[in-house]
Amino acid sequence: MNTKSYNTIKQVVLFGFALFALTSCKKYIPTDQDSLGEDVVYNTTEFQPVLGRNTFYDNIVNIGQNTSQPLTFKIVNARDIDGQPTTLFDDKFPVKIWKEAYTGFEKSIAEIEAKRKIEYRPILEILEKSGNINFWGESGNSGFIKAQPDSGYVFDVELTNTGGRRYLRNFKLKPLRERPYEPSIIDPITGLSPIPYTFITKMSSNMRGDRTDRAMFNSDIRVYFNKLENNVAGTKTLTISFLDSLNNPIDPKKFSATKWEGLVHGFNHRFENNKVVYDVAYPIPLSAIATPYTNITGENAYIEFKFRRKGDFGFLEDNYFGLEFSIFEEGNWEIQFRFPYELPKFD
Amino acid sequence: MKQLCILIFLFANVLTNSVLAQTGMVKGTVKGANNRPLAGVSIKLENPKRDLGKTGDDGRFVISMPTNGVMVFSYQGYGTVKQPVTAGKTEYNILMESKEQELEETVVVGYQQRKRETLTGSVVTISGKEIQDIPSGNFVDLLQGKVAGMNIQNNTGSPGMRGTIAVRGISNFNVSGSGDNTFLTPTSPLFVIDGVPIDDNSGYEYGFETAGPGVSPISMIPPEDIEDITVLKDAQATALYGSRGAYGVILVRTKRGNSKIPLVQYQGQFFMSAVPQLRKVIGGRDERMVRVEQILMNDTTLAAAIRRINDSPMLADSLNPYYNNSTDWQSYFYRNTYNQTHNVNISGGERVFNYKVNMNYYDENGIIANTGFKRYTVQSNMQYEPNDRFRMMANVNANLAQNQMGSGNAAMQTGVGKSVNTTSLYPAPSLFSGSMGALSALNVDDQNKTGNYVAQVELQYEPIIGLRATSTFNYNYTTSTKDRYTPELLLGNSSEIYGYYDNKSKVYNRNLLSWVKAIKEKHVINLYGFTEMEISQSSSTLNKIRGTANDQFQAGISYNTRQTLGGLLNNLTNYRSIAYAGNASYNYDSKYIVDLTYRVDGTSVTGGASPWTSNPSVGFRWNFKKEKFMERFSWWDTGFFRGSVGRTIQPTGTLSDLYGWYKVDAGRYNNRPTTSLDLKNAPNTELVPQTTTQWSLGMELGFFNSALYLTYETYYKQSDKILRSKAIANHNAFENVLTNEAAMVNMGHEVSINFRPRLRNGDWDLSGTATFALNRDYTTALPDGVRQLIQPDNTSGYNLPQFFRLGRNPLTFVLYDYKGVYKTDDEVPVNPLTGQRYRAGGEFSAGKFFRAGDPIFTDINGDYILDENDLVFVGNSQPAMTGGLSVFTRYKNWSLRTQFSYTLDRDILNTALTDRFRNYDTPTGVIEGKPDYVPGAYVPLDAYNVWRQLGDNADYPNVSDFTRLTLYNPYRYNSTMFLEDGSYVKINSATLGYNFDRKWIQRYGLTSARINFTANNIYTFSRYAGPDPELVTSVGRDGSNGYPSKRTYSLGVSVQF
């Protein structure tokens, strides 16, 4: 009898425990895991980067309110336009990346190069957490990458978080042919240029022609970008020269008010054969931030040539013209400013 | 012949009566445990049932009664004693044995009086005595920490307003407003005052929502008049309250007359409300020098700095009396106040007829100038019960409340908050110095009146023994007005009359039929059913008249009709509900009890095919201590399990949500105003009420003659069909649609321990209650079946969206992850692609690159840009653990009652501190293009480890770099820098009382007298850096504009004639 009553007490205690256990169970509550909604959208699905330079597509992903971050992005199923898988993006190529911040105040080429290092990266890369797409075109060329007018490549993006996995399909990569410098007159599809030159960007309104005393315009100065092949190998220089209508060099010192030391972020500037030569690091500009060597946005380098002249009313006036440009390909480049009609009036 | 028979019968009756009525005087003393005299023991005659009287304070009684009757002594907490009177003996000394207190009490649940022993639901009762010594504009505040699972946060010190209450967690996660003014949809329990339900969720909660005075009818109940408060927590207990019982039910019983000799009781309290600690600010010359130094150290160049200083009259023109000040702004708004409350209670009568009239006057001036709350109330009831079969009860209450809110509203004092945050260099508020915000806070004439009138009649009749019919009829009318006059000087030379009027009325009727049958003593069956009906309506009108002729005309006429508005506000309601409910209860020998309840609710705001929802519930109870095998444990008095499951509903939404609105257009047709459908919310005729399904289990154990009583409960509460607005595609005409797609779950555990040790020394008495509750909230469904939802906050400037994810608590913060301060520039990560440093998002600017002294916010998506993709979801603004401890000690005539409460494991966003740091963004005090800009106060930063120079290992980033602050926004509101632990332990109150010796006061014609000294809101222990971790909004943000909680010291007197 006694034992029986103890059993009953045991039952009471067990009942109590069962009661506690029952409520500790969270079976009917959804697990707190990431959500992967339908609202991850790329605002660009067709990428047309230019070969020969790096293009970084930033801020191209819109993530809506139903999707939890961080997400993991991956490029999958890269293929030709006709569906044949391609292994092009599995290979890695050397590219220069930054270790430290570029400020524009570096004092030597060595200092700049110390901030960079070479890494091997695939040509098409997606940033794992942000979904931004990088096209490392620096070491790619139309020799082995299908450039337009070819329809290029197609790939898919895989999104994952702990809430699941989704695929965004049929992104198109249609690289344009190399244009090693900007402003460029090279046709991005054919890679050919109808004329070999472009024009300056900016000119002060008081520039006059030496011969006619007429006002000069941007189209009166032609700009030629020439890659010098015959120079000493391994050096990286930027040369600036001025030619008159007969292609005779003009002494750059005639642009007497030009700040030669601060013209480009280059060093060791020297006047050789009526040319100005700088040791530089490529690409120019090195980074898209505003420095003393760039335009306001920092997207392009800006060089300006200036001289002073007594104006019509006896005032000393600044006369100048400038060029916004970028050069992506490493090497020894020369920028020639040609005056095909007449020289500016220097004094 | 017939007449004769009747005559004889009557005569015989009179004769027997006169025989019975042979009475004599009987006297004696009633003593309880420890030989202590018991006061107020009720003495009844057994047959016929009749009240004989009560014992006095010394336990003595003198009654007249039939010489052969039986006296029945009963007293709460003690076993009933029957004492036959024997002829010749006139003096009786009665000893009463104390009983298991919790079980013998009866409680009214589901409009039926029931023994506690037979309850299957979760019911907690608090005696009115526990709260009567603390002066309060709202008695709910005083219940903090007293009931396990009822989380009360006194988050406003505004007089007459109450904080937030949630029984077993919040039941709705929708928020309204944005930024600093974000409020959680209130889910306060249903209040049932003397049997009549009053919903405290609509309209009263926050003055700004309705533009009215915001005084709830609950504020009108004087604590002195409360007999007891019963909190019903689980589905079975609340089942019969059906519609609106979903958030829990609080029953309030006011006092009744219960004394043959009329009692007149006066209670008065004089109390001082003290201003809590205010914040330190830098004043006068010191502030100017801090500002000047800040500019010199941080401007781009020295020349720019000097120009900036010289361009700022506040800094440069330091001898100008307008700028040469050291104004302590806080001193103009905060003040200590002296207040009083008086209460007179007249009651008398006995069972056949009793009455009570309670008059209360309460006057509290707020600690913020120009705010206050006054209450004048008369509560009366009477009961007539000529015999066991008929009873009539009537209540008439008339209450008037008057409050002033200055330039703020019931919850927020935005005007004061802004004015206090003004540079000390500006002159003190006066008409000539132009600090209009401050002046309006101090001088606006804001008068609010709320009147509440209640009439109630309840009739009960028992035609056949066991069958009882009850009918209750109640009419409740509330009207409130707000009159505010702003003089023309304060409002751009155009005065404003603001007149608000609203009225709410409710007719309530309940007809109940109950039947009790006991079979062979052991089987008790109780059946009852009732119908319940409610018709309520409310409407409010508002007039805003701009430009009276002069400040003497404070009514009516204006010349500026273009800016004068007026009309009916669109919050008008017209609500009907009807319900049929039934309950069947079976009780076997008080051992096994089963309750079945079924309720059908129809409301006018239920859409769909049928307005009806059915709400069943089941409860059981097993008093295992009554089993044979438990009899051996004599020290164990009580033990039972109980459990219940059931569903209740809460009507949400309004008629207009179902059927849409017509609005008056801005445009005209044929020079007449046109009306069209309001395209904000699409009508949805399928809307249904929110339903709550609750499972709960409980266990109660009592030991050592009730010296220790333990209650454990656990619950799972699921709130489904929560009304929520969702945006619909923009090719629809409408912007949003309301649906019932959201759901959430609360689950938790509650423990409460009552202790009342028997002390050997009768001079001492000790008792107390400790409560503990653990609650977790989870979001379980969101509209459109999504797993996650972010409700953006784009307009308030705070950028604090609401974030919901299935399986997570619904009040998570969405913040940037703060990891400290960059010691040097080199610590800032560099984007290897571009060679650029990590920067703040938005439009590109060189100033946005992070550098030394800037905050380290984690770049979650690794794109070296800090933007909304880097937000993290952290914290929970709802407390996980709440509870309290109340202890009562008595030594002879002295008594001490203390109350503690605690809230643990909650997170608070200290936006007030953010605001202080942000004041450093404009050292010049001048913003171009903003002539109205008022520079903020500078707080001393010594208390905070702020980054000052290169290499500093700081807790807070640089505040001084003002040229860049707006670009990278280091002191953004939405960062974990200001997410703090909001746990606290609070000493709520302590009351020291003294009962005067009865013999001594009798000389002055008093029957009892008591004085007490009470301190309320004594101290809060917390690691929180802000002033008060409790003073945060319901979504856990400590804004700068809240109304601080006062500390009160009161001296109370209570005398009874």
The model's pLDDT over A76-117, given as tens digits with 9 standing for 90+, comes to 988 988 888 888 888 888 888 898 888 888 888 888 889 989
Residues A122 and A223 occupy one common structural domain: no
- How much is the pLDDT for B549? 82
| Residue A17 located in a structural domain | no
Out of A134, A163, A287, closest to residue B787 by CB: A163
CATH of B23-94, one of 3.40.50.10470, 3.40.50.970, 3.40.50.300, 2.60.40.1120: 2.60.40.1120
State the complex-level ipTM. Answer: 0.84
Residues A136 and A275 occupy one common structural domain: no
8 A C-beta contact, residue B542 and residue B566: yes
The whole-angstrom separation of Cα B600 and Cα B583 is 12
- Give the residues across from B530 on adjacent strands: B512, B581
Q: Residue range B627-647: average pLDDT?
A: 87
For residue B938, what pLDDT band results from cuts at 50, 70 and 90? confident
| Residue A328 located in a structural domain | yes
The whole-angstrom separation of Cα A87 and Cα A82 is 14
* Chain B residues within an 8 Å CB radius of A66: 786-789
Gap from B155 CA to chain A (nearest CA, Å): 30
For residue B543, what pLDDT band results from cuts at 50, 70 and 90? confident
Asked if pLDDT for residue B1041 goes beyond 70, the answer is: yes
* CA nearest to B402, candidates B241, B610, B214, B129: B214
Strands A46-47, A164-173: pairing is parallel
For residue A17, what pLDDT band results from cuts at 50, 70 and 90? low
Strand ranges for B157-244 from DSSP E: 164-167, 175-176, 183-184, 190-193, 196-198, 226-232
Which of A144, A173, A202 terminates a domain? The answer is A173
Residue of A nearest to B743 (CA): A29
Asked if pLDDT for residue A46 goes beyond 50, the answer is: yes
Asked if pLDDT for residue B357 goes beyond 90, the answer is: yes
Q: Which amino acid is at B509?
A: N
* Chain B residues within an 8 Å CB radius of A71: 861
Out of B639, B865, B869, closest to residue A63 by CB: B869
What is the CATH architecture assignment of B139-275+335-443+453-493+509-570+582-652+687-794+881-886+897-905+985-1056?
Answer: Beta Barrel (2.40)
**H or E element: which one contains B630?**
none
Q: Which residues, in sequence order, are CB contacts of B613 under 8 Å at separation 6+?
A: B600, B601, B602, B606, B649, B688, B689, B691
| Residue A4 located in a structural domain | no
- How much is the pLDDT for A1? 38
| Residue A10 located in a structural domain | no
Q: Which amino acid is at B899?
A: Q
> Percentage of residues in chain B with pLDDT exceeding 70?
93
Q: What is the pLDDT of residues B238-283, one digit of tens each?
A: 777 767 778 888 989 888 887 778 889 999 999 999 988 777 888 8
Give CB contacts under 8 A, 24+ apart, made by A230-235: A231/A332, A235/A279, A235/A332
Out of B630, B714, B826, closest to residue A20 by CB: B714
Out of A29, A63, A116, closest to residue B778 by CB: A29
Q: Do A35 and B833 touch (CB under 8 A)?
A: no
Out of B630, B826, B861, closest to residue A70 by CB: B861
Q: What is the pLDDT of residues B420-444, one digit of tens each?
A: 888 888 888 877 776 777 777 777 7
Residue of B nearest to A59 (CA): B863
B28: left (phi over 0), alpha (psi -120 to 50) or beta: left
**DSSP-assigned letters across all residues of B934-1002:** -PPPPPP-TTS-B--STT---SB--S--HHHHHHH-TT-SSBGGGEEE--EEEEEEEEEEEEPPHHHHH
Q: Do A33 and B807 touch (CB under 8 A)?
A: yes
In degrees and rounded to multiples of 5, residue A308 shows phi and psi of -115, 145
Q: Which residues, in sequence order, are CB contacts of B42 under 8 Å at separation 6+?
A: B51, B54, B73, B74, B75, B258
> Percentage of residues in chain B with pLDDT exceeding 90?
21
Cis peptide before B1029 (omega within 30 of 0): no
For residue B160, what pLDDT band results from cuts at 50, 70 and 90? confident
Q: What is the pLDDT of residues B120-134, one digit of tens each?
A: 778 888 888 888 888
Residues A312 and A207 occupy one common structural domain: yes
User: How many contacts, defined by CB atoms under 8 Å, are there between A and B?
Assistant: 135
Please work out, in degrees rounded to the nearest 5, the angle formed at the alpha carbon of residue A48 by the alpha carbons of A45 and A52. Answer: 140
The two structure tokens encoding residue B629: 């095998």
Q: What is the pLDDT of residues B723-780, one digit of tens each?
A: 998 889 888 889 999 999 999 999 999 999 999 888 888 788 899 999 999 999 999 9
Higher-pLDDT residue of B104, A89: A89
**H or E element: which one contains A59?**
none
Out of B695, B807, B837, closest to residue A32 by CB: B807
Which of A173, A191, A218 terminates a domain? The answer is A173
The whole-angstrom separation of Cα B609 and Cα B420 is 55
- Average pLDDT score, chain B: 84
Per the structure, the complete domain to which residue A47 belongs is given by 40-173
The whole-angstrom separation of Cα B63 and Cα B86 is 14
Tell me the CA distances in angstroms from B565 to B545, B562, B572, one per residue in order.
6, 8, 18
Which of A114, A141, A173 terminates a domain? The answer is A173
Q: What is the pLDDT of residues A239-272, one digit of tens each?
A: 889 988 888 888 888 888 888 888 888 888 888 8
- How much is the pLDDT for A15? 63
| Residue A145 located in a structural domain | yes
Asked if pLDDT for residue B562 goes beyond 50, the answer is: yes
* Chain A residues within an 8 Å CB radius of B786: 35, 37, 66
Cβ–Cβ contacts within 10 Å for residue B225, how many? Answer: 25
Q: Residue range B787-816: average pLDDT?
A: 88
- How much is the pLDDT for B207? 40
Residue of A nearest to B837 (CA): A101
Q: What is the pLDDT of residues B644-685, one digit of tens each?
A: 998 888 888 888 888 888 888 888 889 888 999 889 889 988
Q: Which residues, in sequence order, are CB contacts of B826 under 8 Å at separation 6+?
A: A100
Please indicate if any CB of chain B lies within 8 Å of the CB of A308.
Answer: no
Q: Residue range B36-54: average pLDDT?
A: 76
The two structure tokens encoding residue B832: 């290897």
Asked if pLDDT for residue A2 goes beyond 60, the answer is: no
Q: Do A127 and B632 touch (CB under 8 A)?
A: no
8 A C-beta contact, residue B78 and residue B98: yes
8 A C-beta contact, residue B163 and residue B136: no
Residues A198 and A139 occupy one common structural domain: no
- How much is the pLDDT for B668? 87
Residues A129 and A253 occupy one common structural domain: no
Q: Which residues, in sequence order, are CB contacts of B922 under 8 Å at separation 6+?
A: B933, B935, B936, B962
Residues A236 and A167 occupy one common structural domain: no
Higher-pLDDT residue of A221, B80: A221
* Chain B residues within an 8 Å CB radius of A128: 862
8 A C-beta contact, residue B108 and residue B230: yes
Strands A333-338, A237-243: pairing is parallel
Where, residue-wise, is CATH 2.60.40.1120 in chain B? 23-94
Residues A185 and A281 occupy one common structural domain: yes
A131: left (phi over 0), alpha (psi -120 to 50) or beta: left
* Chain B residues within an 8 Å CB radius of A32: 805-808
- How much is the pLDDT for B21? 47
Asked if pLDDT for residue A49 goes beyond 50, the answer is: yes
Q: Do A289 and B831 touch (CB under 8 A)?
A: no
Exposure string for B405-440, b = 16+ CB within 10 A, e = fewer: bbbbbbbbbbbbbbbbbbbbbbeebeeebebbbbbb
Q: How many domains does chain A have?
A: 2
Q: Do B745 and A29 touch (CB under 8 A)?
A: yes
Angle between helices B302-311 and B284-298 (to 10 degrees): 150
- How many helices (H) does chain A have, and how many strands (E)? 2, 22
Residues A228 and A265 occupy one common structural domain: yes
The whole-angstrom separation of Cα B368 and Cα B371 is 6
B797: left (phi over 0), alpha (psi -120 to 50) or beta: left
Where, residue-wise, is CATH 2.40.170.20 in chain B? 139-275+335-443+453-493+509-570+582-652+687-794+881-886+897-905+985-1056
**DSSP-assigned letters across all residues of B445-470:** EEEEEEEEEEEEEEEEEEEETTEEEE
Q: Do A66 and B788 touch (CB under 8 A)?
A: yes
* CA nearest to A96, candidates A110, A79, A113, A84: A113
Residues A251 and A156 occupy one common structural domain: no
For residue B205, what pLDDT band results from cuts at 50, 70 and 90? very low
Q: Residue range B888-904: average pLDDT?
A: 92
The whole-angstrom separation of Cα B240 and Cα B482 is 37
Residues A86 and A211 occupy one common structural domain: no
- How much is the pLDDT for A6? 52
- Give the residues across from A73 on adjacent strands: A159
| Residue A28 located in a structural domain | no
Rounded to 10 degrees, the C-alpha dihedral B127/B129/B132/B137 comes to: 10
Higher-pLDDT residue of B6, B903: B903
Please indicate if any CB of chain B lies within 8 Å of the CB of A134.
Answer: yes
Residue at token pair 């409009």: B111
- How much is the pLDDT for B394? 92
Residues A82 and A156 occupy one common structural domain: yes
* Chain B residues within an 8 Å CB radius of A54: 833
B408: left (phi over 0), alpha (psi -120 to 50) or beta: beta
Q: Residue range B8-19: average pLDDT?
A: 44
- How much is the pLDDT for B12? 43
Residues A281 and A198 occupy one common structural domain: yes
Please report the sign of the dihedral spanned by the C-alpha atoms of residue B845, residue B848, residue B849, residue B851: positive
